Structure 1
Amino acid sequence: MKREGVLYIISAPSGAGKTTLCKEIIDIFPHLRHSVSYTTRQPRAGEVHGKDYYFISMDEFRSMVDKGEFAEWAEVHGNCYGTSIRTLEECRITGIDLILDIDIQGARQLKERYEGGVYIFILPPSYEELRRRLNGRSSDSDEVISRRIDAAAGEIRESRWYDYIIVNDQFSRAVEELKSVVVAERCRTFRVLETVTERFDMG
């Protein structure tokens, strides 16, 4: 069926598990893809340029900002992240559903600029569990972890304006809940009305 791609915007405090959830849900839906963002941070172990992120210099990032090439961008924990307008438009036109794993600043920018996006917030079960997960990464210093925990309180307060909240307590249950959101949003009347009108006499 002919339709535009759906934009799923997913945010969470660092360590809540949104990246793992996004990867899992993309494996379930063949027409759902992960939006590859641009970032100035250094790659973590195992991350691949062009697959996980486009890793670019601060000068390159600033040049893209000046040219208006980002649909949203933000500085988070000292690093810059941005989503290309071109990426969003290509997927919308071709009917490819897209997941954006972005922070709250970026989500707010998108909410102001784009209609029809689906906003999903992933919560950890508790602050204690969030700290345990961050410590388990073994990739951040104690100072960085403390900064992320402090930031989490403000980020969690922002969850009230998102369309959906999923608590990532049991991973399998969180996957099922996220899967349900994707399925339901694909069936929204305004997304499919034009297509079904072409098939049936809706007058």
Structure 2
Amino acid sequence: MKKGKMIILSGPSGCGKTTISHYLLSKFSNLKFSVSCTTRSIRNNEKHGKDYYFISMNTFISKIKKYQFLEWEEVYPKLFYGTLKNEILKIWKSNKHVLFDIDVKGGLNLKKKYPNNSLSIFIMVNSMNLLKKRLIKRNSETLKNQINARLNKAKKENNYAKLFDFILFNIDLFQTKKKIIQIVSNFIYDK
């Protein structure tokens, strides 16, 4: 196995990145999820250290000043996300490839830093109505203005899709899983 590959899944909130990430992890034993840091609150079904490192704004800013992030973004006002350098090195030292479930700008930043050993996949939903239904169903954004902010951001993020190696429409989850297995297999095993 060649060390140091990255699979970058990006796309708007509600497009299915997390579901697809979990599926890939269940199918590839040589993949390990990169746990990002965030300043947002933990959701009911999440675990610190597994889904994210939930840290305070002060801690996040301290890590920025110490250059501990490979990439970071203020994804929403006062909501920061970032990838720790030592997280990636730890995964590569364990002889695994890194899987990212990451915001669009973060995904593009990683692709720019690692153009030859990364695969970037933009997960897209074919309509804003479907995306809105998914955001409402997952029940993590309770206020109408939070959902609208995510939908407005999604419209902007969709403009970046063409900068990714692949665009994958997540309309039918079964078909999406089938297609992503093929794309990732080809990349990991250089088919």
| TM-score category (smaller protein) | over 0.9
State the match for 2:82 in structure 1: 82
> Match of 1:108?
108
Q: How many Å separate the matches in 2 of 1:25 and 1:94? A: 18
Return 153-162 or 130-139, whichever deviates more. 130-139
For 2:108 and 2:24, how far apart are their aligned partners in 1? 23
Q: Is the contact made by 1:159 and 1:165 (CA closer than 8 Å) also made in structure 2?
A: yes
Q: Secondary structure at the match of 1:99?
A: strand
Between the aligned partners of 1:138 and 1:53, the Cα distance in structure 2 is 18
* 1:118-156 superposed Cα distances (whole Å, 9 cap, x missing partner): 100000121110111111122211101011111111101
Letter of the 1:118 counterpart: L
Aligned with residue 164 of structure 1, among 157, 162, 166: 166
**Preserved CA contact (<8 Å) 1:11 1:122:** yes
Structure 1: 5+ residue stretches without partners: 190-203
What is the aligned-residue identity percentage? 35
* Cα-Cα RMSD: 1.3
Alignment of 1:43-122 (within 5 A): 43-78=42-77, 79-115=79-115, 116-122=117-123
What per-residue deviation string (whole Å, max 9, x for no partner) do you get for residues 77-116 of structure 1? 2210010111212323442011111112212221232232
CA distance in 2, matches of 1:67, 1:155: 29
SS at match of 2:159: helix
Determine the C-alpha separation between the residues in 2 that align with 1:171 and 1:161.
Answer: 23
Counterpart for residue 194 of structure 1: none
The residue that corresponds to 1:181 in the other structure is: 183
Counterpart CA distance in 1 for 2:6 and 2:48 is 23
Aligned equivalents of 1:91 and 1:6: distance in 2?
A: 10
Which whole-Å deviations, capped at 9, do the CAs of 1:10-31 have from their partners, x for residues lacking one?
A: 1011111111111111111111
In the alignment, the residues of structure 1 paired with residue 11 and residue 87 of structure 2 have an alpha-carbon distance, to the nearest angstrom, of: 22
Mapped to 1, the partners of 2:113 and 2:28 lie a distance apart of: 26
How many residues get paired? 188
Question: Whole-Å Cα distance in 2 between the matches of residues 55 and 134 of structure 1?
Answer: 21
Contact kept, 8 Å, 1:119 with 1:163, in 2: the verdict is yes
Contact 2:10–2:17 (Cα < 8 Å) also in 1: yes
1:125 counterpart residue number: 126
Larger Rg: 1
Deviation at 1:72, TM superposition (A): 0.5
If the length of structure 1 is used for normalisation, what is the TM-score? 0.88
Which AA in structure 2 matches 1:119?
A: S
Moved over 4 A (4+): none
Indicate the structure with greater helix content: 1
Where do 5+ consecutive residues of structure 2 fail to align? none
Q: Which amino acid counterpart does residue 169 of structure 2 have in structure 1?
A: V
